[in-house]
Each structure stands twice: as structure tokens, then as C-alpha cells.
Amino acid sequence: MIEIMIYLSSGLFLGWSLGANDAANIFGTAVGSRMVKFSTAALIMTIFVILGAVVSGAGASHTLGALGQVGTLPAAFVVAFSAAVAVSWMTKLSLPVSTSHSIVGGIIGWNLYSGFATDLDVLREIVGAWIFSPILSGFFAVILYFIFKKSLNKAKIHLLHLDFYTRWGLLIVGAFGAYSLGANNIANVMGVFTGIMEVPNYNLGLLTFTGAQQLFLLGGIAISVGVVTYSKRVMLTVGSSIMDISPIGAFIVVLASSTTLFVFASSTLKDFLVMLNLPSLPLVPVSSSQAVVGAVLGLGLAKGGRNINFKLLGKIGVGWILTPITAALISFILLFFMQNVFIRSVI
């Protein structure tokens, strides 16, 4: 049992890193615009990210398994640890990068070391989702901006009432975003462990708490700890440094990015669209950071493109590219040490 917890510790470390970096972006614009206190945001994140992970976390984890089925616990430990180190490094630089990028890099590092071929079709699907998700988020933000602009001009709501509604709106869509993030990104934290760990199901009367859900619960708790302990810096980077955002703008950004995460996480939505013979998006763990930055950029463009910090956007973009490469290199090197120094099978 102690040995298993040691191996799982890297997944928990990655969950902490996700909470410190990716998860913070759900409330980054709300905190950055001073409409929501950090303590309130952290509490809501803690509750709903765990709910999302446990209730709806299974969908996106299958895609990572198809990219590369890590075969042993020591290998899973190294892959998750490599991803966590890469994200932690970027977090220290106050850059909103992605555990989705880092865990994919870690898995590719294992594929290269073990000699297993990376499924290029799955990789293209994942990278395509990474590229499309900020575009989709930006599109949602543009549409929402013009809808709210037209509606508010007609409604003529008193400023104090508008402030009250906006604060509650930010809390509600933040809870939705936290749930969506837990559902989508818990695959990054525990996905490499669910395929190789046999955790017995736990019966709760009418409900069954599956082994995967138990692992997702641990990962969700780790994410929440990251939110509470180390997320404020990245929140402020996304919330106020890319461009100045009004409270209404913060609401639009949170709703747009949360919807994007939900679209890539909901198996129910995917099945519904397939039933109607409509096109659906793949269930892929995408980056909340990319979704938020895409929404902020979309909002800025809708308002004429003024006051956007393109220099910072370029820096963030470089971080997105370096993260999977860094994770893959760390994974490859540490797998060598795990196999040859610590004499643990990684293949």
C-alpha cells in the first residue's frame, strides 16, 4: 500500500500543479477584475472541480489511453512526475500553461523510450483540439459580447443592480467552469494510472463508487489544494495582464471558456449530437489556460483590439510550445534512471 501511494504521489503532484496553474484560470478574470475574492473563488473551485472529476471524469481519459498505454506503475509515476515538473516550472514563470500539453509530452517520452509507436491519428486529434479550443472559446466570447451589449443597451439596468447580477453571474459560471475543468482535466492527473491500477469498486447502497472514480477523487482533492495554495499569481496574470477587463467582460470570458471545456468533456453531449446525426467534437483533455486566453483575446478583438498585451500573448504561446517538449525530455531521461538505477520495470 505504501509503495502504491508513492507511485500515486506524482499524479497528486501533477494535480497540485494543475490547481496552481490551469484550474486558476476559471476564476482568473473574476479575481483580476476584483469582482470575486480569491478566497471565495478557491472555495467554489474546490467543491465543483471534485464533483466534475468524480461524476464526469471518465470521458476524456480514454483518448490519452489510446495515445500510449503506459504499462507499469513505475512508468506511470515517471510520466506524471515529468508532466508536473514541466507545469511547475512554467507556473514559477507565472505563465498559464497546460497539464494537457505536459501529460501528452510525458506519454510521448514513454513511447520513445519504450519503443512503442505513438498513434499519430490520436495525436493529431489531440493537437487539433488544442488549436481549435482557444479559437472556439474566442468565438463564444465574441458572440456573447454582442449579445450582452445589445441586451444591456435595451434593458437599461441600474449600475448597482448590474454590479450585483454580475457578481452572482461570475460565481455561477465559475462553478460551471470548475465542474467542466474537473471533468475534462482529471484525465491528465490520473489517466495514466486508471488503466494499470485495479482498485475495487465501493458500493454505496444504490450507487457504486468505481475504482476510477476513487482515483479521480484523490486527483480532484490534489487539484483543490493547488488552487488554494499557489494559484493567485497565475490568476492575476490571466485576469489583468493580457488586457484590462471589465466585470461584464470577466463574466463573458468565464462563460465562454467554461463552455469550451464542457464541450470537450461531456460524453452525454457527444452522444446527443451523434443521435441527431450532428457533428461532435472529440472527448479530449484540453487546456483551460488556452480556453481562457482565447476568450480574452476574442473579447479584446470584439472591442476593437485595443489594450491587448500581444507581447505577453507571445510569451504565453512560447510556453505552450515548450511545455510538451520539456515534459517529453524529462520523461525520457527519468525513465532511463528508473529502469537502470532504481531497477524498476517501465515497459
To which residue does cell 439596468 refer? Answer: 157
Exposed/middle/buried for 204, CB within 10 Å: 0-12, 13-18, 19+? exposed
**Is 298 within a domain?**
yes
* Distance in angstroms (rounded) separating the CA atoms of residues 178 and 129: 20
Per-residue pLDDT at 96: 66
Q: How far apart are CA 296 and CA 188, in angstroms?
A: 24
Closest by alpha carbon to 29, among 294, 323, 222, 226? 294
In the numeric block, which cell numbers belong to residue 16?
Answer: 497540485
**Does residue 218 form part of some domain?**
yes
Determine contact, residues 326/101, Cβ cutoff 8 Å. Answer: no
pLDDT at 24: 65
Kindly tell me if the per-residue pLDDT of 243 is higher than 70: no
In a domain, 287, yes or no: yes
User: Distance (Å, rounded) from C-alpha 157 to C-alpha 178?
Assistant: 29
Place of cell 523510450: 113
In a domain, 46, yes or no: yes
12-26, 55-69, 167-181, range with greatest mean pLDDT: 167-181
Question: Torsions phi, psi of 208, nearest 5?
Answer: -120, 125
pLDDT, one tens digit per residue, over 245-298 is: 778 888 898 899 989 988 888 778 888 888 888 777 778 888 887 888 899 889
* Three-class DSSP labels, the chain: CHHHHHHHHHHHHHHHHHHHCCHHHHCHHHHHCCCCCHHHHHHHHHHHHHHHHHHHCHHHHHHHHHHCCCCCHHHHHHHHHHHHHHHHHHHHCCCCCCHHHHHHHHHHHHHHHHCCCCCHHHHHHHHHHHHHHHHHHHHHHHHHHHHHHHHHHHHCCCHHHHHHHHHHHHHHHHHHHHHHHHHHHHHHHHHHHHCCCCCCCEEECCEEECHHHHHHHHHHHHHHHHHHHHCHHHHHHHHHHCCCCCHHHHHHHHHHHHHHHHHCCCHHHHHHHHHCCCCCCCCCCCCHHHHHHHHHHHHHHHCCCCCCCHHHHHHHHHHHHHHHHHHHHHHHHHHHHHHHCCCCCCC
For residue 6, pLDDT beyond 70: yes
More confident residue, 249 or 47: 47
Range with top average pLDDT, 13-17, 138-142, 149-153, 155-159: 138-142
> What does the pLDDT average to over 152-164?
85
Average pLDDT, the chain: 85
Compute the average pLDDT of residues 216-239. 82
Specify if 347 maps to a domain.
Answer: no
Contact 103, 188 (CB under 8 A): yes
Instruction: Give me the pLDDT at residue 265, please.
Output: 80
Beta bridge partners of 204: 207
pLDDT at 59: 62
CA–CA dist 108, 88 (Å, integer): 19
How many domains in the chain? 1
Q: Give the structural domain span for 228.
A: 1-341
In whole angstroms, what is the distance from residue 251 CA to residue 257 CA?
Answer: 10
Main-chain dihedrals φ then ψ at residue 288, nearest 5 degrees = -65, -30
DSSP tag of 207: E
Residue 198 located in a structural domain: yes
Contact 174, 239 (CB under 8 A): no
346: in domain: no
Condensed to tens digits (0 to 9), the pLDDT of residues 298-311 reads: 998 898 877 777 77
pLDDT grade for 23, boundaries at 50, 70 and 90: low
Residue 24 forms part of a structural domain: yes
Collapsing DSSP to helix, strand or coil, 202 comes out as strand
Q: Which of 173-187, 195-209, 271-285 holds the top average pLDDT?
A: 173-187
Average pLDDT over residues 138-164: 89
